[in-house]
Amino acid sequence: MNKNRKRYGWTGTILEVDLTRSAVRKVDLPEQLAYNYLGQAGINARILYDRVSSDTDPLSPEAPLIFGVGPLGGTLAPCSGRLSVTFKSPLTGIFGDSNCGGHWASELKMAGYDHIVVTGKAKHPVYLWIDNDRVEVRDGRSIWGKTTWETDELVRQDVGERTAQVACIGPAGENLVRFAAIICNKARAAARCGPGAVMGSKNLKAIAVRGDRGIYVADKSAFSEAVEEAVSAILADPLYESAKTYGTLAITPLAQALGFLPTRNFQESTFEGADKLAGEVFIKHFATKHKGCYNCPVGCSRLYKVAGGPYATHGEGPEYETVSALGAKCGNDNFESILHANTLCNQLGMDTISTGNTLAWAMECHEKGMLDETDLDGLDLHFGNAPAMMALIKRIADREGVGDVLAEGAYRAAKKLGGSDWVVQSKGMDYPAVDTRGTKGMALSFAVSPRGGDHLKGLSLYEVAPDVYAQDIKKETGIDVTPQYWLQYETKAGLMRWHENWHCVVDSLGLCKLEGIAIKPLLPRHFQRMLAAATGWDVSVADLERIGERIWNLERLFNVREGMGRGDDLPPRRLLEEPIATGPARGERLNRESYEQMLTEYYRLRGWDQENGIPTQDKQRELGLI
Amino acid sequence: MGYAASIRIIPENCRGCRRCQVACSSHDPGPLNPRLAGIQILQLEDEGGNYPVINMECLERFCGKTHPRDTERKPACVGACLFGTLEMTQRKDNNE
């Protein structure tokens, strides 16, 4: 960016850190990069694409670990506390990114940086201290081995700044668990695809930041008006009170009622213990206080406490995904144990989704007689055995006994131990807590996601709540919804394409998509108005969607370079072959032929070739990618 | 002795989102930074609770940073809080 011009929205600076040489450098954010990829996830993706090749080992020193905040991150815009971390995934070997809230991302903006690109490997454990302009690589040997909670406190003591924000890894990241997380503020996890392992491979324990500078916007009064319009839309949303009270735990009863709550490793899609895992139960018995990320009008998170007994604990969360992964998927209806496990995963620094799925897969292997107690360090790992789950979570983080192979994730563990048929994954990544045999559009978006089995890149509430959003769906996408819209294959390719493009935009602006495209209150015009006023950039809604499309295509090209093709865009075997046996979605499965037709239509709409879903030369040219 | 408008803090309701700080800072000329606000939120370590603390002068004298949406005389921090942590109240005014 032009040094003589005041920076609006973006800070205009990328921090490059080479841990091998213990050297840091500040680089101007190129203006064209910002205009083509916005920021946060988008710019991260471009930097990653340019700096790795198919030969790059995700855990090698040369593999970059990229942190990014968007042009609206840290501003007056609602829900502007998001961080994206982008890397080549040690779990899947392909494109990897992960996103979290909290207060770390906004602090990085206040310190004067949009992105941090970390490469190399330190000779011994270190941490990074970013005190505004001053950036230091500090000795981290005394905190290596500590949990994320201990690290958070020790680092702030060491830098002598209690209000610094800390992002760090726990023992799981140090031990290169392939689904290890980076944890901000003790509980906000950038976890999917295993960024914690990448950080661990660099001997980087933590990044602490303090920012006293601040953010300027181009047109303060127009920006305030645009923000006010967005906040009003959030407050007026029919789901606002529910989101404010239960957060994502409001989804559990809906999942049970529609029959998409994966149970016992996706063998069923309703759970007899679902009532015990409802948001109401949590609020009544365990929640001690509500909590919110930076500048969020919803504050969907909560603090909890289990006062006594074997699962005594306290912490923040849990999300629907966590309760399902460590609950229904493992046949476990003991909420106290789920909270205990959530705190453990946060302290050890592990993705709760992949942790739950890996345990659930091992449980099915045990049930089917493929893994017995001698394989499992003497643990009787039947579905619902919560004490055995707690023991295994620790073993995975420490790579101890059977934990060593489970730390590779279910997909790789199955290659060693057998049981691949029961791993519910795409491109090596474990599926989140939606049984997509019933929701055909999500079946497509989970399977084509650039980071593998994933719900967040194309998440569509429009699909499961068509009655509430029929008007918006029509207005935004031109699609007329039909009764039980989620069950149909038709029009889903277009619906998902729209969602994917706009999720790319939201993830690149610095905003939370829960209040963005996923749960609806914010629409494209809100993002456009806020961005234009904040940056002074004459950008249109169509420009923004084009940017979203560009980012999506770039992530696809990354995976094409890694050898991915049409065969990798199929749902897991179980969802294609085994119909749901019980519950309201009984009999549903994904019909291979109908799915392939939907995929073909999706490739056509995307401008990708039919054979392998490769963006055509024309499409790449149109998007300025070649 | 008279009464003056003041701000009451109900820390149990605080979610630590810092919307109050952001609103306060955004009214000042210069860059936005919640650290520059008249209200700060302390982080209580043990169980991660949030505890807002406000500058004495904010309590004693109306700052004039009113949100356009608010019809009553209410500082921006109070207007921004959506969780019932900051309320307008009357306090005894010792100056009279």
pLDDT tens across A135-179, in order?
999 999 999 999 999 999 999 999 999 999 999 999 999 999 999
pLDDT category at A128 given cuts 50, 70, 90 is very high
CB distance A135 to A24 below 8 Å? yes
CA dist., res. A521 & res. A132, Å (int): 35
Cβ neighbours of B17 in A, within 8 Å: 292-297, 299
Same domain for A139 and A107? yes
Return the SS3 of A180.
strand
Cβ neighbours of B45 in A, within 8 Å: 153
In angstroms, the Cα distances linking A40 to A68, A235, A358, A505 are 4, 26, 30, 10
Q: Report which of A148, A207, A201 is spatially closest to residue A178, judged by C-alpha positions.
A: A201
Among A106-110, A253-257, A453-457, A464-468, the range of highest mean pLDDT: A106-110
Q: How many CB atoms lie within 10 A of CB A469?
A: 20
Point out the residue among B26, B48, B83 whose CB comes nearest to the CB of A299. B83
CB distance A590 to A440 below 8 Å? yes
DSSP labels, A550-612? HHHHHHHHHHHHTT--GGGGSPPHHHHHS---SSTTTT----HHHHHHHHHHHHHHHTB-TTT
Which of A210, A236, A266 finishes a domain? A210
Angle at A468 between CA A466 and CA A473, to 5 degrees: 55
Structure tokens at A521: 């209150």
CA A561 to chain centroid: 23
Closest residue of chain A to B24, computed from CA coordinates: A76
- B31–chain A Cβ distance below 8 A for any pair: yes
Structure tokens at A485: 């819209």
Point out the residue among B17, B23, B31 whose CB comes nearest to the CB of A215. B31
Residue A8 included in any domain: no
pLDDT number for residue B71: 75
CB distance A27 to A14 below 8 Å? yes
Cβ neighbours of B25 in A, within 8 Å: 214
Q: Report which of A422, B58, A547, A607 is spatially closest to residue A414, judged by C-alpha positions.
A: A422
Q: Which domain holds residue A525?
A: 440-622
pLDDT number for residue A32: 96
Task: Classify burial at A483, counting beta carbons within 10 Å of its beta carbon; exposed 0-12, middle 13-18, buried 19 or more.
Answer: exposed
Point out the residue among B32, B43, B48 whose CB comes nearest to the CB of A214. B32
Which of A210, A237, A260 finishes a domain? A210
Cβ neighbours of B35 in A, within 8 Å: 110, 163, 211-212
Residue A224 included in any domain: no
- B84–chain A Cβ distance below 8 A for any pair: no
Same domain for A75 and A37? yes
Mean pLDDT of B27-45: 91
Mean pLDDT, chain A, integer = 95
In angstroms, the Cα distances linking B56 to B2, B40, B43, B85 are 19, 12, 19, 17
pLDDT number for residue A150: 97
For chain B, the first-to-last Cα distance in angstroms comes to: 5
Closest residue of chain B to A291, computed from CA coordinates: B15
Sheet containing A115-119: order of strands? A23-28, A13-18, A115-119, A65-68, A83-88, A95-100
A472 CB contacts (<8 Å, ≥6 apart)? A462, A520, A523
CB pairs under 8 A between A and B: 80
Same domain for A448 and A406? no
Same domain for A411 and A388? yes
pLDDT tens across B66-78, in order?
877 777 788 999 9
Residue A610 included in any domain: yes
Closest residue of chain B to A317, computed from CA coordinates: B48
* Residue indicated by tokens 């010792």: B94
- Shortest Cα distance, chain B CAs vs residue A357, angstroms: 29
Mutate to test the interface with B, among A183, A229, A240, A291 (most CBs of B within 10 A): A291
A292 φ, ψ to 5°? -135, 155
pLDDT tens across A455-479, in order?
999 988 788 888 878 888 899 889 9
B71 CB contacts (<8 Å, ≥6 apart)? none
CA dist., res. A564 & res. A560, Å (int): 5
pLDDT number for residue A283: 97
CA dist., res. A243 & res. A236, Å (int): 12
Using CA atoms of A172, A173, A175, A180 in order, give the dihedral in degrees to the nearest 10: 60
Residue A104 included in any domain: yes
pLDDT of B95 strictly over 60: no
Point out the residue among B17, B49, B69 whose CB comes nearest to the CB of A295. B17
Amino acid at A562: E
For chain A, the first-to-last Cα distance in angstroms comes to: 22
Mutate to test the interface with A, among B14, B15, B85 (most CBs of A within 10 A): B15
- Count of residues in chain B: 96
A573 φ, ψ to 5°? -50, -45
DSSP labels, A68-106? E--TTTTSSSTT---EEEEEE-TTTSSEEEEEE-SSHHH
Same domain for A475 and A412? no
Of A48-52, A117-121, A476-480, B31-35, give the lowest mean pLDDT range.
Answer: A476-480
Mean pLDDT of A494-498: 95
pLDDT number for residue A517: 64
pLDDT of A304 strictly over 50: yes
A469 against A82, higher pLDDT? A82
Which of A406, A430, A454 finishes a domain? A430
Same domain for A365 and A397? yes
Closest residue of chain B to A153, computed from CA coordinates: B45
Q: Report which of A264, A237, A266, A265 is spatially closest to residue A250, judged by C-alpha positions.
A: A237
CA dist., res. A401 & res. A412, Å (int): 16
A560 CB contacts (<8 Å, ≥6 apart)? A612, A613, A614, A615
pLDDT tens across A511-553, in order?
998 877 666 789 999 999 999 999 999 999 999 999 999 999 9
Cα-only R_g, chain B: 14
Crossing angle of helices A440-448/A492-509, nearest 10°? 50
Cβ pair A291:B83 closer than 8 A: no
Residue A286 included in any domain: yes
Tell me how many domains chain A contains: 3
* Residue indicated by tokens 């032009």: A2
Q: What percent of chain A is modeled with pLDDT above 90?
A: 92
- A75–chain B Cβ distance below 8 A for any pair: yes
Same domain for A189 and A127? yes
pLDDT tens across A552-605, in order?
999 999 999 999 999 999 999 999 999 999 999 899 999 999 999 999 999 999
Cβ pair B17:A213 closer than 8 A: no
Task: Classify burial at A144, counting beta carbons within 10 Å of its beta carbon; exposed 0-12, middle 13-18, buried 19 or more.
Answer: middle
- Shortest Cα distance, chain A CAs vs residue B4, angstroms: 29
A264 CB contacts (<8 Å, ≥6 apart)? A328, A329, A330, A331, A360, A363, A364, A383
Cβ pair A293:B17 closer than 8 A: yes
Chain B residues 42-71 with a CB less than 8 Å from chain A? 43, 45, 47-50, 68-69
Q: How many CB atoms lie within 10 A of CB A129?
A: 21
Cβ neighbours of A76 in B, within 8 Å: 22-23, 26, 32
CB distance A339 to A302 below 8 Å? no
Architecture of domain B2-93: 2-Layer Sandwich (3.30)
pLDDT tens across A356-376, in order?
999 999 999 999 999 999 999
Point out the residue among B17, B45, B49 whose CB comes nearest to the CB of A299. B17
DSSP labels, A501-551? HHHHHHHHHT--SIIIIIT-SS-HHHHHHHHHHHH-----HHHHHHHHHHH
Cβ neighbours of B68 in A, within 8 Å: 228
Cβ neighbours of B43 in A, within 8 Å: 162-163
Mean pLDDT, chain B, integer = 87
Cβ pair B15:A288 closer than 8 A: no
pLDDT number for residue A5: 55
Cβ neighbours of A162 in B, within 8 Å: 43
pLDDT category at B96 given cuts 50, 70, 90 is very low
Using CA atoms of A481, A485, A491, A493 in order, give the dihedral in degrees to the nearest 10: 130
pLDDT tens across A387-433, in order?
999 999 999 999 999 999 999 999 999 999 999 999 999 999 999 99
CA dist., res. A529 & res. A542, Å (int): 12
CB distance A462 to A480 below 8 Å? no
- A213–chain B Cβ distance below 8 A for any pair: yes
CB distance A110 to A214 below 8 Å? yes
Crossing angle of helices A492-509/A541-561, nearest 10°? 100
Residue A193 included in any domain: yes
Q: What percent of chain B is modeled with pLDDT above 90?
A: 53
Same domain for A462 and A412? no
Cβ pair A213:B31 closer than 8 A: yes
Cβ neighbours of B31 in A, within 8 Å: 213-216
Q: What percent of chain A is modeled with pLDDT above 70?
A: 99
Mean pLDDT of A58-73: 98
- Shortest Cα distance, chain A CAs vs residue B3, angstroms: 32
pLDDT number for residue B85: 96
CA dist., res. A14 & res. A8, Å (int): 15
Chain A residues 183-202 with a CB less than 8 Å from chain B? 186-187
Same domain for A456 and A421? no
Supply the CATH number for residue A61's domain: 3.60.9.10
Residue A325 included in any domain: yes
- Shortest Cα distance, chain B CAs vs residue A189, angstroms: 16
Name the helix (H) or strand (E) containing A167.
strand A165-168
- Count of residues in chain A: 626
- B33–chain A Cβ distance below 8 A for any pair: yes
Residue A408 included in any domain: yes
pLDDT number for residue B48: 58
Cβ pair B83:A314 closer than 8 A: no
Same domain for A450 and A397? no
A304 φ, ψ to 5°? -135, 165
Point out the residue among B23, B47, B68 whose CB comes nearest to the CB of A314. B47
pLDDT number for residue A4: 46
Of A63-77, A192-206, A448-462, give the lowest mean pLDDT range.
Answer: A448-462
